[in-house]
Amino acid sequence: MSSFLTSSFMSNIFGGLAQGVIYSLVALSLVIIWQSTHVLNFAQGAMAMFATYVGMTQIDRGLGYWWCVLLSVVVGMAFGGATERVLIRPLYGKPEINPIVVMVGFLGVIEAVTTAIWTSTSRNIAAPFSQIYFKAGGKLVLLSPFIIFQIILAVVIMMLVAALFRFTRLGLQLRASALAPEVARLLGVRVNRMLTIGWMLSAGVGSIAAVILASGSFGLFPTNMDGVFVAGFIAAAVGGLDSPVGAIAGGLIIGLTEQFVLAYWSPSVAPLGGMIVLVAVLMIRPHGIFTRSVSRRV
């Protein structure tokens, strides 16, 4: 058993899972915002990174790690709500390309402001759990308490989001506000409030992903979420933009694919592994693996 856990195959499995759960959380944040507003936020990664800077740099002032995490999530949610009200709300009803262009430009603004405030120097954030790998039979198993924490956290958040949209009144109102805002208004739903809440929830989940990334080996720097956001976007498309379960599954698929391409092919083409999976899935399931292509009622 120990030889199996320490084999190169299992090492790649563990490495893919560690990276995949971060992709999953980013994908999940995109699923939330899509289900609640039908808008894709291309500045999601940068917004999460900025919130993480605001929260996690308070460690330098003596604030405890978990308080810094809570502050990062709160700042992220406030940032998401403010962005929806100020930048996105005037664009509802306009051509769909407008929010995309605005948020791509906003991404550059956020990263420039972050660099101006905190510089581009990478910061190391101490992880809440040990990152030392376990051992089996005297050999390393590429699995640590921190990686286990990442996996459990991603699954718990996915279950909470899925339950929110499927079983709660708030989730129903969020979906109704995105799919049929005029009908939702006639039924008494405060659509504008629901859209803001959707952005806040999405930004909160994105901030958790950024905190995990910063607490790992990557560190915290202004562009550290760029590549992760691209992989998370691919994961959301692979799993299906209407499925929280698909977001988690898509993130794990992309993480594992990149890890095996990295190990058995070439590090330089590892990021292309996700694109290959995306093209293959969309050729078979254009709406994503876990999304039904039939119309539905809310």
Q: Across the chain, how many H-helices and E-strands are there?
A: 12, 2
Q: Are 110 and 43 in contact (CB under 8 A)?
A: yes
Task: Report phi then psi at 9, rounded to 5.
Answer: -65, -50
Q: What is the pLDDT of residue 54?
A: 96
Residue among 79, 81, 101, 105 at smallest CA distance from 91: 101
Output b/e per residue, 135-156; b: 16+ Cβ within 10 A: ebeeeebbbbebbebbbeebee
Q: What is the pLDDT of residue 263?
A: 85
Q: What is the pLDDT of residue 264?
A: 83
Residues ≥6 apart with Cβ < 8 Å to 224: 49, 122, 210, 213, 214, 218
Q: What is the pLDDT of residue 243?
A: 87
Looking at the whole model, is its pTM more than 0.85?
yes
For domain 2-284, the CATH architecture is Orthogonal Bundle (1.10)
d(CA 262, CA 256): 10
Q: What is the pLDDT of residue 233?
A: 94
Q: What is the pLDDT of residue 232?
A: 93
Q: Are 252 and 21 in contact (CB under 8 A)?
A: yes
Q: For the chain, what is the radius of gyration of the CA atoms?
A: 19
**pLDDT tens over the chain, length 298 residues:** 567 777 888 888 988 998 999 999 999 999 998 888 888 899 999 999 999 999 999 998 999 999 999 999 999 999 999 999 999 999 888 888 899 999 999 999 999 999 999 999 999 888 888 888 888 777 788 888 998 998 898 889 988 988 988 889 998 898 888 888 888 888 888 988 999 999 999 999 999 999 999 997 778 999 999 999 999 999 999 998 888 889 999 999 999 999 998 888 877 777 788 888 999 998 988 888 887 755 444 4
Residue among 201, 204, 210 at smallest CA distance from 23: 210
Q: What is the pLDDT of residue 298?
A: 42
